[in-house]
Amino acid sequence: MTRGAASCWGLRVAAATVLLGTAASCSAGTVGGTASPATATASATSISTGPVTAEISQFRDNYSKQIIEIQLTNTTGHALTVLGAELTSPLFAAPITWPARTGGIELPPGQPKSLPAPLPAPNCGSPAAPETGPGAGPEAAAGATSGAAGDARVSLRLATPEGAVPVPAMAPAADRFGVLARNNSELCLAREASAVATIALAQDLEVAADGRTAVVRLLLQPRAAGGAGELVIDRIEETTLLAEAGQAPWPRSVTVRAGGAPAEVRLGIRPSRCDPHAVAEDKVGTLLPLQVRVAGREGILKIDAGNQLRGRIYDFVTKACGRQ
């Protein structure tokens, strides 16, 4: 291989580095005197813009599963194959890894693909004083590590259709909606809350005789004596599917202490909407949001209804709306 050919091969490898911020050029490269079909990969345009861009998002139906999406867009004029994708962020204790399928996934030119990746344990620094007011974003409660959200980077292993040797690629990951900070905040809050008590929804649903309202039971099981501190449920929020039944106001300022007695909170509910798509398009309507304070943190703790209760709630909402 000549020095010029070797130089162009180096550029082909470098071209797989996502969002590489430098421009370079190479004439129609040859290896052993034969034109390489991958020459376009080494073009100045591909290098300056990067072959793949990365963003972070999260589908609403994955909120309770702690799964995010690594969204990749191929900016070249030919297909690429992603063999592996890994997101690193100071907000999490381990890399956030897409469980790659055999053979990877193809990225057609210009077509975004979302790769689901489960979140590992969060890094929970000392909680920062929560920001208040209408401008407070999801990062406000993320603790001392919230400023590191912009340091997220995606590492990829890419291959071209020509069968080139897979090469590593690295890109900063745009997180326009604060997905990582929000999840870090929620997971750290849930960790502190679980040190005080287990909070869950009972799987039965008590439907009123007229079928228009029902009662769900929030179960509070404090940790044994010697557990850490106390937790305060300041209020319970309504959801896109469930609202407070007028004749049974939901309690406020409920305090739970480690070593205390088990308790239950009865919540009268009614449908919050009865349009035809209320149940069919529901994503988060059975995640009960609790506004809590614990161990210097405050925020929303989401209690998942679970499969059995979720089905009963859907059935109740459907029938209750039919009676209106």
Per-residue pLDDT of the chain (324 residues; tens, 9 = 90+): 444 443 333 323 333 333 322 222 323 332 233 333 333 232 222 222 358 899 999 998 898 899 999 999 998 888 999 999 999 999 999 999 999 888 899 999 999 999 999 999 999 986 654 443 333 444 343 433 444 556 899 999 888 666 555 556 677 899 999 999 999 999 999 999 999 999 999 999 999 999 999 999 999 999 987 666 899 999 999 999 999 998 878 999 999 999 999 999 999 999 999 988 889 989 999 999 999 999 999 999 999 999 999 999 999 999 999 887
Q: Which of 161, 177, 193 is the last residue of a domain?
A: 177
Structural domain count of the chain: 3
pLDDT given at position 140: 41
Same domain for 221 and 300, yes or no, is: yes
pLDDT given at position 171: 75
Same domain for 244 and 166, yes or no, is: no
pLDDT given at position 51: 81
Instruction: Tell me, yes or no, whether 160 lies in a domain.
Output: yes
pLDDT given at position 74: 92
**DSSP assignment of 234-273:** EEE---SSEEE-TTSPPP--EEEETT---EEEEEEEEES-
pLDDT given at position 117: 97
* The three-state (H, E, C) secondary structure of 292-311, written as one string: EEECCEEEEEEEECHHHHHH
* Sequence letter at residue 266: R
* Sequence letter at residue 17: T
- pTM for the whole structure: 0.74
pLDDT given at position 18: 37
Domain of residue 243 covers 202-322
Instruction: Tell me, yes or no, whether 196 lies in a domain.
Output: no
Same domain for 61 and 40, yes or no, is: no
Q: What is the CATH number of the domain that holds 71?
A: 2.60.40.10
Instruction: Tell me, yes or no, whether 92 lies in a domain.
Output: yes
pLDDT given at position 44: 25
Q: Which residues contact 315 (CB under 8 A, 6 or more apart)?
A: none
pLDDT given at position 226: 67
Q: How far apart are the first and last CA of the chain?
A: 79
Q: What is the CATH number of the domain that holds 260?
A: 2.60.40
Instruction: Tell me, yes or no, whether 191 lies in a domain.
Output: no
Same domain for 304 and 212, yes or no, is: yes
